[in-house]
Amino acid sequence: MTAKLIKGTVLREEILEEIKTEVARIRAEYGVVPGLVTILVGSNAASLSYVTLKIKTAHRLGFKEVQENQPETISEEALLDLIAKYNRDDSIHGILIQLPLPKHIDEKKVLNAIDPDKDVDGFHPVNVGRLMIGGDEVKFPSCTPAGIQEMIIRAGVEICGAEVVVVGRSNIVGKPIANMLLQKGEGANATVTVVHTRTRDLASHCRRADILIVAAGVPGLVKPEWIKPGACVIDVGVNRVGERISEKTGRKIAILKGDVDFEEARKVAGFITPVPGGVGPMTITMLMKNTLNSLKFRVASG
Ligand code: NAP
């Protein structure tokens, strides 16, 4: 058996086109567009590249985009004031703080200062609680788990009644995706097991999975013999295992590997996501979807 590839790069284009169409429709009907502010503190190269990608994507979709690049030395108070300003700004529907923040700033305090109705990353405790309750309560599912769920649905894999095993229990991937897939509703209704470093016999849990979601950050953790034949394998792991020189640019680029032994696993699985090009591209895509939805909630409430 050779698994079908679920490519995030392809799904990203499909979903971004849908968002673009919806933005144009809302602009024509109501004269408004989604507004997103990206707040970057300092000049960390990785953060800068993430923010740049978010800004580029927002522009491509026809969003209003505001960039707030602040110096490393900004005080916590000034940052909180900036957030308060965008909380009040009716043309802004999503506020993004690029993490990590400098050590003198309390990250939790800053993230919790964002209006939960503009928290398009879905990290505010109010949105985490809404996700836990499920159904109509959910406003902004956090983006990587939302991307994973979307990939499984669009691949045509049945989630209802499936045995789902999630490897990893982090607040940004493992816990939210487990919670989303066990909800009563469409694209969910699964029987979910979450495993972690204290789990006895990880392999036996993985072998039961119709859908195996791996978010551990350990390259090659999941062995092919742990995979049920025909299962859907979602590899969230992004691990730098070395560097190579790009033929195109002559620059050094990272060699990335997932948490699953891809070449062997694809011979057993029914569906599998590659790394890179799998879950990765879905995160920013879902961030854009959350920002569009934020505007739609606003329009619906008058
Ligand atoms: P994390 O906060 O480090 O959590 C890792 C989880 O995996 C923990 O719950 C840990 O268990 C569990 N784990 C680690 N080693 C294990 C092992 N040997 N056996 C069983 N469980 C193990 O990581 P994260 O933020 O969730 O990220 C996980 C991976 O996904 C990373 O490679 C990250 O780069 C990637 N990621 C990708 C995206 C994306 O593509 N957009 C987004 C987010 C994360 P304990 O709780 O017991 O320690």
Nearest CA to ligand 1 atom 34: 238
Mutate to test the pocket of ligand 1, among 49, 148, 238 (most ligand atoms within 8 A of CB): 238
CA–CA distance, 86 with 81 (Å, rounded to integer): 9
Query: What distance in Å separates the CA atoms of residue 285 and residue 287, rounded to the nearest whole number?
Result: 5
CA of 173 from ligand 1 middle (Å) equals 8
Q: For residue 49, what is the DSSP state? A: H
CA of 239 to the centre of ligand 1 (A): 10
Report whether pLDDT(1) > 80: no
Tens digits of residue pLDDT in 18-71: 999 999 999 999 999 999 999 999 999 999 999 999 999 999 999 999 999 999
Residue 302 pLDDT > 90:
no
DSSP letter at 277 equals: S
Ligand 1 geometric centre to CA of 178 (Å): 13
Give 172's DSSP letter.
T
Q: For a substitution probing ligand 1, which of 197, 221, 285 has the most ligand atoms within 8 Å of its CB?
A: 197
The answer to whether residues 181 and 134 touch, using CB atoms and an 8 Å cutoff, is no
How many residues appear in the chain? Answer: 302
Pick the range with the lowest mean pLDDT from 29-38, 249-258, 280-289.
249-258
Whether pTM exceeds 0.85: yes
On the 0-12 / 13-18 / 19+ scale of CB atoms within 10 A, 166 is: buried
